[in-house]
Structure 1
Amino acid sequence: MSQLRLTELTWREVRRAGEEGIVLLPIGSQEQHAAHLPMGTDTLLAEEVVDRALDLLDREPGAPQVVRLPALPFGHSPHHLFAAAVSLSAATLGAVLDDVLDSLVTSGCRRILVVNGHGGNDEIMRLAVKRLALRAEVTAAACSYWTLTTGEDPAGRPEVTPGHAGWFETSLMLAAHPDLVRTPVPARTPVEPPPLFDHPPHPGLTVERHGEWERVGGSTDDPSGADADRGRQLLDDRARALAHAIRAFDTASRSAR
């Protein structure tokens, strides 16, 4: 068994596992996901992809040992407070990640991977990992689960990946937690002009305009065509890609020690 859960280990077991294995921290959010998905969608999907990836690794010979932390359920979601969210400021989330990562280092962990499920966390998470490697003798990595793919993604629709509360996330939730999806999934009313955060006026620009999320009703694209079978394909693809990424991180970080 290559997969261990931090909450089930003694402190001595954590010390031993941290010295040799990879410590994995999933992070998510609690925020509005339109009228049909639960507030915890980002956390649930990050956990689902991580669980599937670690299950795949458990079936492989010589799999790296991974210590899985409980998911951090809160993220940076001020853009969703127009409806409902439990949001940390960017500074607070950065400080929380700094404290968690520093605690792991103090506890003997030397290889750490953060897996994210919410777009608003991405830059903050990556900066936290970079800061950690500057102040501690560790090898650390970070990714948002939707950015990983095997390249064999027949169900993909890049124009709406990942989006928010749209086709992609709804398909994944129909596959992973169908009981939490409110059905029938409503069609999204087209909004004109489209929001600038999702349709910047020039490639390479990041554009935010006050009130856009509320104006578009809290979602980026139409979820009504979401499908559980395609959601399973997407989850399997991301899980396989994360398993490959963990193996690659293991190989690279072992050779550097």
Structure 2
Amino acid sequence: MNKHLITNMTWQEYQSKIKDNILILPIGSTEQHGPHLPLGVDSMLAESYSLAIAEKINAVVAPTVSYGYKSLPASGGGPIFPGTIDLKGATVVSLVYDLLEEFLHDGWQKIVLVSCHYENEAFLAEAADLITRNQTEEFPKILLVNWWDNLSENILPLVFDEVEFPGWALEHAAIAETSMMMYCYPELVREDAITDEGIDIPPTFQQFPPSKTLIPQSGSLHTARSSTAEKGRLIVENSTDNIVSVLENELFAKVKITD
């Protein structure tokens, strides 16, 4: 039983954590990740990152938000693939706003949103902004973080040592995410289904209704070949450490580092 998950706590145990801890809310999505990865990649990684962060600081992890804003065809396949379950942008804002409202009502002063689905970012920022817009005190404080903005540049050559880095726009279900899944959830990676299909250059426009021929039928934007669990470990550990540094700096004395 993981001690950081609030789903495993009684209400009294949960209440006892509020004063001196950080609350982490993992937020992902349910969407296609090619033929070799499960639909829950973003949500699984969001929870894995949240738990990794919680191991390093006084933090508890809320239940993962497993649905998100729609991915566009050129950044994840979009709604043309069965199993991609999207929310409207207004729904994402309303959902996260309501959750933040409840946590703030409980008394949390330090809340971290851990995002692992790129298309959610603007709507998470909107929810956090709306709920704190009229606030005059520094706390309560809400931070929005993700792994890709907190990955050190020196890690990229180690991850993309065999296949050239195509840019984050084409890295959906490719080497980075596949490697992280190999590290965090190896039993869910279908290595024999990895394909070399993809697109060479992301389009400079969006089309509505979405084109069914923009990306391969497999849903892959770029190859995941050369992915390894070791590369996943490098990504997860490096970005986790960098996120923890952000929390230390932004929440300063409010954060207590555990042994």
What band does the TM-score fall into relative to the shorter chain? 0.7 to 0.9
Q: Which amino acid aligns with 2:202?
A: P
Query: Which residue of 2 is the match for residue 117 of structure 1?
Result: 116
| Helix, strand or coil at the partner of 1:24 | strand
Residues 94 and 124 in structure 1, CA contact (< 8 A), matched pair in contact too: yes
| Helix, strand or coil at the partner of 1:38 | coil
The separation in 1 between residues aligned to 2:24 and 2:61, in whole angstroms, is: 5
Shift of 1:10: 3.4
RMSD value over aligned CA atoms? 2.4
Query: Which residue of 2 is the match for residue 69 of structure 1?
Result: 62
Shift of 1:29: 0.6
Given the alignment, which residue of 132, 147, 150 partners 1:145? 147
Shift of 1:176: 1.5
Structure 2 residue runs without a partner (length 5+): 73-77
Shift of 1:171: 1.4
| Helix, strand or coil at the partner of 2:145 | strand
Check if 1:182 corresponds to 2:212: no
| Helix, strand or coil at the partner of 2:202 | coil
Q: 1:190 to 1:31 in 2, by over 3 A?
A: closer
| Helix, strand or coil at the partner of 2:80 | coil
The separation in 2 between residues aligned to 1:156 and 1:133, in whole angstroms, is: 38
Given the alignment, which residue of 66, 81, 84 partners 1:83? 81
Shift of 1:102: 0.2
| 1:1-257 alignment runs, 5 A limit | 4-55=4-55, 57=56, 64-77=57-70, 79=72, 80-84=78-82, 85-135=84-134, 138-153=140-155, 155-157=158-160, 159-161=166-168, 163-191=171-199, 194-196=201-203, 200=204, 207-210=205-208, 211=210, 214-217=213-216, 218-251=219-252
Structure 1 residue runs without a partner (length 5+): 58-63, 201-206
The separation in 2 between residues aligned to 1:253 and 1:81, in whole angstroms, is: 42
The separation in 1 between residues aligned to 2:254 and 2:132, in whole angstroms, is: 13
The separation in 2 between residues aligned to 1:191 and 1:74, in whole angstroms, is: 26
The separation in 2 between residues aligned to 1:22 and 1:180, in whole angstroms, is: 30
Residues 185 and 224 in structure 1, CA contact (< 8 A), matched pair in contact too: no
The separation in 2 between residues aligned to 1:250 and 1:161, in whole angstroms, is: 29
Q: Identity across aligned pairs (percent)?
A: 23
The separation in 1 between residues aligned to 2:108 and 2:29, in whole angstroms, is: 25
The separation in 2 between residues aligned to 1:181 and 1:65, in whole angstroms, is: 32
The separation in 2 between residues aligned to 1:252 and 1:144, in whole angstroms, is: 22
Residues 24 and 112 in structure 1, CA contact (< 8 A), matched pair in contact too: yes
Residues 195 and 212 in structure 1, CA contact (< 8 A), matched pair in contact too: no
Query: Which residue of 2 is the match for residue 204 of structure 1?
Result: none
Residues 126 and 142 in structure 1, CA contact (< 8 A), matched pair in contact too: yes
| Helix, strand or coil at the partner of 2:192 | coil
Residues 46 and 145 in structure 1, CA contact (< 8 A), matched pair in contact too: no
| Helix, strand or coil at the partner of 1:215 | coil
Residues 36 and 190 in structure 2, CA contact (< 8 A), matched pair in contact too: yes
| Helix, strand or coil at the partner of 2:24 | strand
Name segments (4+ residues, structure 1) moved above 6 Å: none
Shift of 1:187: 2.8
Query: Which residue of 2 is the match for residue 203 of structure 1?
Result: none
Q: Which amino acid aligns with 1:127?
A: E
Pairs aligned (count)? 235
Q: Deviations over 1:7-60 (max 9, x none)?
A: 2333344334223321110000110011111000111112222222322x1xxx
